[in-house]
């Protein structure tokens, strides 16, 4: 059943609906129990068929019937827990409208793997230039539900290619209460089609069906071939979990394949995205499985201790999108004052 936002309940009076959000408040009377559920649009009052004991900020899915007497509420509700906070949050959280965020570019850990990260001497300590706002945008889903950021990303790319720069503008988005990566792809599609003034739908192929032989990733030649066979814009989903970053959600039925995707445009990847892990324990397992120390991600992992909804997001590489749209091809042509291996001025 499609999720209904709290602000749309009035349009569903008499119907069975599904709403999702955080437990904002709860109240128990002698023979009835009330919850107030908060989503990005506002609050919904829920009257429970059976009382439940839940921590504040538990992430919930509620099914019930919309009534208007004595007021607009969801009655006979069944409650399912989507994510359980490990402990009560230290402060009360309120979540207004979707927000543009600006996150630090000097950071303490590599988010996209350690291979192409710029190291900085930070008052005698090691710091890094942010490869992406990944961990921050995820944490802010727990506050605003939907966030986006337009900002610089830094990659110490050893390759001298027309598709890699050391610094580029990344258009990042992250959204909560998704079912799986397909919901993220729907938002990606709307966003990219609007930017390109193009029409969809964009075809989706599975990695297994388009890779060359047993290769664990797509080569630039593969990307060109896939677009030649399937269209200008093509989603590839289901990349091998081992090849994606640790925060990527595996396909629950076949964990070797992930819920990560790329969007190819005229033969080149311009977007990466995925559903993310959202449970604290899953992060500990995923980090350890990759030989990464959970201690260096402690600040990030903290967000997952207080109840994060299922979420996902994507990043559009702006110079790549422009290079493909204009036919210029080389990112040095679409970036003001480009930075690459040999260029640090002007
Ligand atoms: P990824 O590392 O695939 O994913 O980067 C996202 C997009 O950024 C662009 N890009 C680059 N553009 C120019 N020069 C580079 N060196 C470079 N590296 C990447 C590409 C790519 O598709 N955190 C994830 C995104 C997410 O899952 O939300 C990430 O950074 O267009």
CATH homologous superfamily, domain 99-334:
Bira Bifunctional Protein; Domain 2 (3.30.930.10)
| E strand map for the chain | 16-28, 33-39, 42-48, 59-67, 73-83, 99-100, 106-107, 119-122, 125-129, 146-154, 167-176, 204-206, 233-237, 250-251, 254-258, 260-265, 268-275, 311-317
pTM value? 0.84
pLDDT one-digit tens code per residue, 284-313: 999 999 999 999 888 889 989 988 999 999
- Ligand 1 atom at minimum distance from 137 CA: 28
pLDDT one-digit tens code per residue, 317-332: 999 999 999 999 899 9
* Residue 78: how many other CB atoms lie within 10 Å: 12
For 25-68, the DSSP string reads EEEE-SS-EEEEEEETTEEEEEEESS-----TT-EEEEEEEEE-
- 272 within ligand 1 shell (Cβ under 6 A): yes
Tell me the CA–centroid distance for residue 169 and ligand 1, in Å. 10
Average pLDDT over residues 71-92: 87
Query: Where do the domains of the chain lie?
Result: 6-83, 99-334
Q: How confident is the model at residue 94 (pLDDT cuts 50, 70, 90)?
A: low
Mean pLDDT of the chain: 93
**Nearest CA, atom 16, ligand 1:** 164
**Nearest CA, atom 3, ligand 1:** 272
Among 315, 319, 329, which is best to mutate for testing ligand 1, by the most ligand atoms less than 8 A from CB? 315
- Which residues are identified as catalytic? 155, 157, 163-164, 269, 272, 320
- Ligand 1 atom at minimum distance from 168 CA: 13
Asked, colleague to colleague, whether 6-83 and 99-334 share their fold, the answer is no
Among 320, 322, 332, 343, which is best to mutate for testing ligand 1, by the most ligand atoms less than 8 A from CB? 320
- 170 within ligand 1 shell (Cβ under 6 A): yes
Tell me the CA–centroid distance for residue 133 and ligand 1, in Å. 11
pLDDT one-digit tens code per residue, 169-206: 999 999 999 999 999 999 999 999 999 999 999 999 99
Tell me the CA–centroid distance for residue 195 and ligand 1, in Å. 18
Tell me the CA–centroid distance for residue 317 and ligand 1, in Å. 6
Tell me the CA–centroid distance for residue 82 and ligand 1, in Å. 29
Residue 73 in contact with residue 35, Cβ under 8 Å? no
Q: Does domain 6-83 have CATH number 2.40.50.140?
A: yes
Q: How confident is the model at residue 281 (pLDDT cuts 50, 70, 90)?
A: very high
């Amino acid at each position: 059943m499609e999720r209904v936002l709290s602000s749309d309940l009035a349009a569903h009076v008499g119907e069975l609906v599904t709403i999702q959000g955080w437990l904002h408040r709860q109240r128990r009377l002698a023979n009835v129990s009330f919850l107030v559920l908060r989503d990005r649009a506002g609050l919904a009052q829920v009257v429970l068929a059976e009382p439940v004991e839940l921590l504040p900020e538990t992430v919930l899915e509620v099914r019930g019937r919309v009534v208007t007497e004595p007021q607009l509420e969801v009655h006979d509700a069944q409650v399912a827990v989507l994510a359980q906070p490990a402990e009560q949050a230290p402060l009360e959280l309120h979540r207004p409208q979707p927000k543009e965020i600006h996150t630090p570019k000097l950071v303490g850990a590599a988010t996209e793997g350690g291979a192409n990260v710029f190291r900085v001497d930070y008052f005698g300590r090691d710091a890094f230039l942010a490869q992406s706002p990944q961990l921050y945008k995820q944490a802010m889903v727990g506050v605003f539900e939907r966030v986006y950021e337009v900002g610089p990303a830094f990659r110490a790319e050893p390759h001298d290619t027309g598709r890699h720069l050391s610094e580029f503008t990344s258009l990042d988005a992250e959204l909560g209460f998704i079912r799986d990566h397909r919901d993220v792809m729907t938002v990606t599609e709307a966003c990219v089609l609007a930017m390109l003034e193009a029409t969809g739908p964009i075809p989706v192929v599975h990695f297994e069906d388009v890779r060359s032989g047993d290769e664990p990733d797509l080569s630039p030649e593969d990307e060109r071939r896939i677009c030649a066979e399937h269209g200008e814009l093509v989603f590839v989903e289901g990349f091998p979990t081992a090849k994606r970053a640790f925060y990527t959600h595996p396909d629950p039925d076949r964990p070797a394949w992930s819920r990560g995707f790329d969007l190819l445009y005229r033969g080149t990847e311009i977007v990466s995205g995925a559903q993310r892990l959202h449970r604290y324990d899953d992060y500990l397992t995923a980090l350890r499985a990759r030989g990464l120390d959970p201690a260096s991600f402690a600040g990030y992992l903290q967000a997952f201790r207080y109840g994060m909804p299922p979420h996902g997001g994507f990043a559009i590489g702006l110079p790549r999108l422009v290079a493909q749209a204009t036919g210029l091809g080389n990112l040095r042509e679409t970036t003001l004052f480009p930075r690459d291996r040999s260029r640090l001025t002007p």
